[in-house]
Amino acid sequence: MPAIKSVFSLLGLLLFLNHPAMASYTLVYSGNLNGELEPCGCTLEGDLGGIKRQATMIDQLRRQDPDLLLVSSGGLLIAEMPSDRIRSDYILRGMQLLNYDVIGVQARDLAFGTDFLKRYRLPFVLSSAPDESIFAYQKTLRRQSQSFSFFQWSVLPSQVIRKDPATASASAQKQLTEKLAAEKNTGAITVLTTSLRLAAAKKVLPLKYIDILIIPSRRDSFAKPVQIENTLLLQPGARGMRLGLLQFEIKKQANNARISHWQQRVIPLPKSIPDSPRTQAWYAAYNAALKSDYEKQVALRKQREQGKSPYAGAEKCQACHVQEYRKWQQTQHAQAYDDLESVDKNFDPNCVTCHSVGFNQPGGFLNAELTPHLSGVQCESCHGPAQAHIDDGGKTATGNHQWNKKQICGQCHIAIHSPSFNLKTYWPKIAHGQIR
């Protein structure tokens, strides 16, 4: 049945695109990349998206329709680890390769300051801080004989708004309403992207002047479009795993233009979509920058850590836990660091964290040369530091001795890296001991 539905859905889209009486337009949209420059790749079901595949698909879509509109609602960056500045840098360079027409600015995109964004000369739009002159207030594009005006409304951090926040917000809302109304009077189709959830957007934004409203992602999958009076509501999937393609017709009456018919297709980006050749130099430079930074951080940590490490390594654990050690050797955990090396990602902190023991912790893993005994997912990855436990013959409990299985596995098996993780089915693969 799913295959039959898919065929009829595709047939309907083709009939829609080829209807002779329709002047159709195409909007390709995404949002909330959330720092996902490339998919994790640890699991097949999570291996979706990435800028290299996006480039391939966007190029293909543009060959089919050179007039398509390509829009991101923002939320591109992440700032959780020291290396995230490098990742954010290359995400923005990647966005230059993708050649978006409009990119909204969300608060998370300002994590490294406005100057960090400005230097990339991307088509950023921000309409909620009009007096600050940070980015373009709006962007108007023309396709065939139709104008499209794009706006972005985001709740911004206080350091960006120099005026009283309440006064600034009221002034910005008034100006936004006036600008949207003026654009509608010219016959433009108005598109507004926002960081507000729907309930808040209904209270703050003048929907009667907005033809397409794109709200922030809440999950990885795209939501179905919803019509709210004259506004078409879109919600992209997060992390760049898919692209949304909206095909629509415009009905004109005097100076008023409205979307009258539409149909959406969600385009997944699985491993079968090849990486774009034109991203090769960009990706090689990204990996080189990560590797250089990783080596610098290792050198600094090596200088700082002169004392005894709280981590012992699995080889020492086997002296008392022979059966558990043998079981561990037969699991994929034992090969986890080798897996990283095989794909040349053993210098990416986002990967090494879950493929080694104690990475970024005092006395933890540095690299395979300096701390080979701590590579891979070992006993202490789950149970915590064990050197003190070994030194006194087991009298001192290991670091995570009070944790249950859900807490232990939840350190790494999270939705981003392990979307299909289920404790009941995963635990038997490594079952040992008396963990709760």
- Segment 126-148 mean pLDDT: 88
pLDDT at 162: 57
What confidence tens digit (pLDDT) does each residue in 317-326 have?
A: 999 999 999 9
Name which residue leads in pLDDT, 171 or 139. Answer: 139
Per residue in 83-130, pLDDT (tens digit) is 999 999 999 999 999 999 999 999 999 999 889 999 999 999 999 986
Residue 216: per-residue pLDDT: 95
What percent of the chain has a predicted confidence (pLDDT) above 90?
75
pLDDT recorded at residue 308: 84
Name the band, by pLDDT with cuts 50, 70 and 90, for residue 1.
Answer: very low
Give residue 41's pLDDT: 84
pLDDT tens digits along 338-391: 999 999 999 999 899 999 999 988 899 999 999 999 999 999 999 999 999 999
Tell me the CB-side half-sphere exposure of residue 165, using CA atoms within 13 A: 7
pLDDT per residue as tens digits for the range 43-80? 888 899 999 999 999 999 999 999 999 999 999 999 99
Q: What is the pLDDT of residue 11?
A: 47
Q: Which residues pair with 265 in a beta bridge?
A: 245
What's the pLDDT band for 168 if we cut at 50, 70, 90? low
**What are 337's two structure tokens?**
């660091």
Q: Greater confidence, 304 or 108?
A: 108
Q: Which tokens in the block code for residue 74?
A: 């923002």
Domain extents in the chain:
2-277, 308-429
pLDDT at residue 244 in the model = 98
Q: Are 238 and 34 in contact (CB under 8 A)?
A: yes
What is the rounded average pLDDT of the residues 241-270?
93
pTM for the structure as a whole: 0.85
Q: What confidence tier does 429 reach under pLDDT thresholds 50, 70, 90? A: very high
212 vs 215: CA distance, rounded Å: 10
Q: So what's the pLDDT on residue 4?
A: 38
Q: For strand 212-214 and strand 226-228, is the pairing parallel, antiparallel, or unpaired?
A: unpaired
Rounded to an integer, the average pLDDT of 213-232 is 95
User: Tell me, what's the pLDDT at 155?
Assistant: 86
pLDDT exceeds 80 at position 217:
yes
Check pLDDT > 80 for residue 427: yes
Per residue in 23-37, is it b (16+ CB within 10 Å) or e — as a string? Answer: ebbbbbbbbbbbbbb
Residue 314 has pLDDT above 70, yes or no: yes
| Confidence at residue 2, expressed as pLDDT on a 0 to 100 scale | 43
Give residue 302's pLDDT band: very low, low, confident or very high (50, 70, 90): confident
CATH number of 2-277: 3.60.21.10
Residue-level pLDDT at 8? 43
What is the average per-residue pLDDT within 235-247? 97
pLDDT digits (tens, 9 = 90+) for 378-407: 999 999 999 999 999 999 999 998 999 999
**To which CATH superfamily is domain 308-429 assigned?**
Flavocytochrome C3; Chain A (1.10.1130.10)
Of the candidates 358, 342, 362, 340, the one whose C-alpha atom is nearest the C-alpha of residue 417 is: 340
Mean pLDDT of all residues belonging to the chain:
90
Residue 132 has a pLDDT of 62
Q: Which two tokens stand for residue 397?
A: 């409990």
pLDDT band at 3 (very low <50, low <70, confident <90, very high): very low
pLDDT at 432 over 80: yes
Residue 164 has what pLDDT? 54
Spatial distance between the Cα atoms of 109 and 32, rounded to a whole number of angstroms: 10
The more confident residue out of 2 and 183 is 183
The answer, yes or no, to whether residue 19 has pLDDT greater than 80, is: no
Look at phi and psi of residue 239 and say left if phi exceeds 0, alpha if psi is from -120 to 50, else beta: left
- Region 175-185: mean pLDDT is 96
**What mean pLDDT is predicted for residues 189-215?**
96
